[in-house]
A and B are shown apart, each in its own frame.
Chain A
Amino acid sequence: MSSTLIEVRDLVKHFPIKRGILIQRQIGAVKAVDGISFDVSEGETLGIVGETGCGKSTTARLLCRLMDPTSGSVTFDGRDVLAQKKDDLKALHRQMQMVFQDPYSSLNPRKTVGSIIADPFVIHNLHTGKDERKRKVQELMDRVGLNPEHYNRYPHEFSGGQRQRIGVARAVALEPKLLIADEPVSALDVSIQAQVLNLLRELQRDLGLTLIFIAHDLSVVRHMCDRVAVMYLGKIVEMAPGDELYHEPRHPYTGALLSAVPVADPSGGKRERQLLSGDVPSPANPPSACRFHTRCPKAQELCSQDEPLLEVKRPGATGVAACHYPLTDEEIRLQLPAALTRDGRQPAAASSPAGASGEASSASSSSSST
Chain B
Amino acid sequence: MSDALLNVEDLRVSFRTDDGIVRAVDGISYAVGEGKTLGIVGESGSGKTVSSLTTLGLTRSRGSDISGRIMFGGQDLVAMSDEKLRTIRGNDVAMIFQDPLSALHPFYKVGWQLVEAMQAHGSISRKAARSRAGELLQLVGIPDPQRRVDQFPHEFSGGMRQRVMIAMALANEPKLLIADEPTTALDVTVQAQILALLNDLQNRLGTAIIIITHDLGVVAEVADDIAVMYAGRIVERGTAQEIFNEPQHPYAWGLLKSIPRLDSPRGEELVPISGRPPSLINRPSGCHFHPRCPYVQDSHKQIDPRLEPVASGQSHAAACLLEPSVRQRIWRGLREGRDLESLQRLAASSNGQAGGTSGAPPAPATASSTPPSGAAPQEPS
CB neighbours of A262 from chain B (8 A)? 191-192, 195, 215, 217-218, 220-221
Given A262-B220, A264-B259, A357-B377, CB of A243 within 8 Å of CB of B266 = yes
A275 and B266 contacting across the interface, CB-CB below 8 Å: no
Q: Which of A16-24, A131-139, A184-192 contacts B (4 or more CB under 8 A)?
A: A184-192
Q: How long is the Cα–Cα vector from A308 to B189 in the complex, in angstroms?
A: 23
Q: Which residues on A sit within 8 Å (CB–CB) of B265?
A: 344-345, 347-349, 351-352, 355, 360
A257 touches B337 (CB 8 A): no
**Please, how many angstroms separate the alpha-carbon atoms of A246 and B378 in the complex?**
26
A252-280 residues with Cβ-Cβ distance < 8 A to B are 256-269, 273, 275-280
The verdict on A355 contacting B270 (CB below 8 Å), with A190-B258, A191-B43, A340-B263 known, is: no
Complex alpha-carbon distance, A177 and B268, angstroms: 25
Contact A242 B266 (CB under 8 A): yes
Separation in Å of the A30 CB from the closest CB of chain B? 16
Task: Please name 27 pairs of A and B residues whose Cβ atoms are closer than 8 Å in the assembled complex, sorted by A.
Answer: A52-B187, A159-B276, A191-B255, A191-B258, A192-B272, A194-B272, A195-B274, A216-B188, A218-B188, A224-B260, A243-B266, A257-B189, A264-B244, A265-B220, A266-B240, A266-B244, A269-B220, A273-B192, A278-B143, A279-B159, A279-B160, A352-B336, A352-B337, A355-B337, A356-B377, A356-B378, A359-B269
Partner of A276, one of B189, B337, B372, B374: B189
Q: Is there a chain A Cβ closer than 8 Å to B214's Cβ?
A: yes
Q: Which residues of chain A come closer than 8 Å to B143, judged between CB atoms? A: 278
Q: Quick one: closest B residue to A223, CB to CB?
A: B260
Would you give the shortest CB distance from B373 to chain A, in whole angstroms?
A: 7
Closest to B292 in A: A191
Least CB separation from B230: chain A residue: A191
A102 to B380 Cα, complex, angstroms: 27
Given A264-B259, A355-B265; A189-B214 close (CB under 8 Å)? yes
Cβ–Cβ < 8 Å partners of B263 in chain A? 263, 265, 268, 337-340, 344
A195 with B262, Cβ < 8 A, contacts A190-B255, A262-B218, A354-B378 known? no
Distance A169 CA – B339 CA, assembled complex (angstroms): 28
> Quick one: which of A168-225 are within 8 Å of B by CB?
189-195, 197-198, 202, 216-220, 222-224
B273: CB under 8 A from chain A? yes
Q: Nearest CB to that of A221 among chain B residues? A: B260
Q: In whole angstroms, how far apart are the Cα atoms of A197 and B270 in the complex? A: 8
Q: Which residues of chain B in 257-304 are interfacial with respect to chain A, using CB atoms and an 8 Å cutoff?
A: 258-274, 276-277
A257 → chain B closest CB, angstroms: 6
- A78 interface residue, CB < 8 Å from B? no
Chain A 265-322 residues near chain B, CB threshold 8 A: 265-269, 273, 275-280
**Closest chain B residue, CB of each to CB of A362:** B267
A60 lies within 8 A of chain B by Cβ: no
A353 at the interface (CB under 8 A from B): yes
Q: Which positions in B face A, CB cutoff 8 Å?
A: 43-44, 143, 157-160, 187-193, 195-196, 214-218, 220-221, 223, 240-241, 244-245, 254-256, 258-274, 276-277, 335-339, 372-374, 377-380
A193–B267 CB distance below 8 A: no
A interface residues with partner B (beta carbon < 8 Å): 51-52, 159, 161-162, 189-195, 197-198, 202, 216-220, 222-224, 242-243, 246, 256-269, 273, 275-280, 337-340, 344-345, 347-349, 351-361, 363-364
User: With A260-B191, A273-B192 given, can you name 7 additional A-B contacts, CB distance below 8 Å?
Assistant: A189-B43, A223-B266, A276-B193, A353-B372, A354-B337, A356-B267, A356-B379
A355 adjacent to B268 (CB under 8 Å): yes
A340→B218 CA distance, assembly (Å): 18
- Known A189-B277, A263-B221, A264-B261; judge A358-B195 contact (CB<8 A): no
CB distance from B193 to the nearest CB of A (A): 6
CB distance from B122 to the nearest CB of A (A): 33
Count chain A CB atoms within 10 A of each CB in B189, B244, B245, B339 and give the residue with the most: B189
Q: Knowing A340-B262, A359-B267 touch, does A353 contact B374 (C-beta < 8 A)?
A: yes
Q: Which residues of A contact B339 (CB under 8 A)?
A: 354
Contacts of A345 in B (CB 8 A): 265
Whether A353 contacts B262 by the Cβ 8 Å rule is no
Q: How far is the CB of B42 from chain A (nearest CB, A)?
A: 9
Contact, CB under 8 Å: A354 / B261: no
A102 to B129, CA, bound (A): 43
Q: Which residues of A contact B276 (CB under 8 A)?
A: 159, 161-162, 191-192
The reply to whether B377 and A194 contact each other, CB–CB distance below 8 Å, is no
Q: Which residues of B contact A222 (CB under 8 A)?
A: 260, 262, 266
Q: Is there an interface contact between B377 and A354, defined as CB atoms closer than 8 Å?
A: yes
| Contact present for B220 and A279 (CB under 8 Å) | no
Task: Decide if A189 touches B44 in the complex (CB within 8 Å).
Answer: yes
Supposing A191-B273, A276-B193, A359-B379 touch, asked if A264 and B268 sit within 8 A by C-beta, the answer is no
A205 to chain B, nearest CB (A): 9
- Is B217 a contact of A352 with CB atoms below 8 Å? no
Contacts of B372 in A (CB 8 A): 353-354
**Alpha-carbon distance A193/B188, docked complex (angstroms):** 18
Known: A262-B221, A273-B192. A202 touches B244 (CB 8 A): no
Task: Report chain A residues within 8 Å CB of B259.
Answer: 190, 193-194, 219, 264
Contact A360 B379 (CB under 8 A): no
Question: Which 7 residue pairs are nearest across A and B when measured between Cβ atoms?
Answer: A360-B267, A339-B263, A348-B265, A262-B217, A223-B260, A260-B192, A194-B272
Residues of B within 8 A of A354 (CB): 336-339, 372-374, 377-378
Contact check, B272 vs A191: say whether CB atoms are below 8 A apart: yes
The answer to whether A339 and B337 touch across the interface, beta carbons within 8 angstroms, is no
Which residues of B have CB within 8 Å of A275?
A: 189, 192-193, 196
Query: A242 vs B260: C-alpha distance in the bound complex, in angstroms?
Result: 14
Give complex CA distance A188, B341 in Å: 27
- Neighbouring A residues of B335 by C-beta, 8 Å: 351
CB contact under 8 A between A363 and B267, given known A190-B258, A276-B193: yes
Which residues of chain B are within 8 angstroms of A194 by Cβ–Cβ distance?
Answer: 258-260, 270-273
Closest-CB distance, A46 to chain B (whole angstroms): 15
Distance A294 CA – B158 CA, assembled complex (angstroms): 19
Q: Which residues of B contact A265 (CB under 8 A)?
A: 220, 244, 261, 263
Nearest-CB residue, chain B, relative to A161: B276
From residue B283, how far is it (CB to closest CB) to chain A in Å?
Answer: 17
Closest Cβ of chain A: how far from B39's Cβ, in Å? 10
Complex Cα gap A369–B270 (Å): 22
How far apart sit A159 and B45, CA to CA, in the bound complex (Å)? 13
Q: How far is the CA of A161 from the CA of B273 in the complex (A)?
A: 12
Closest chain B CB from A288 CB (angstroms) = 21
Nearest neighbor of A49 in chain B, beta-carbon distance: B188
Q: Complex Cα distance A202/B265, Å?
A: 18
In Å, the complex CA distance between A222 and B263 comes to: 10
Q: Which of A191, A194, A279 has the most chain B CB within a 10 Å cutoff?
A: A191
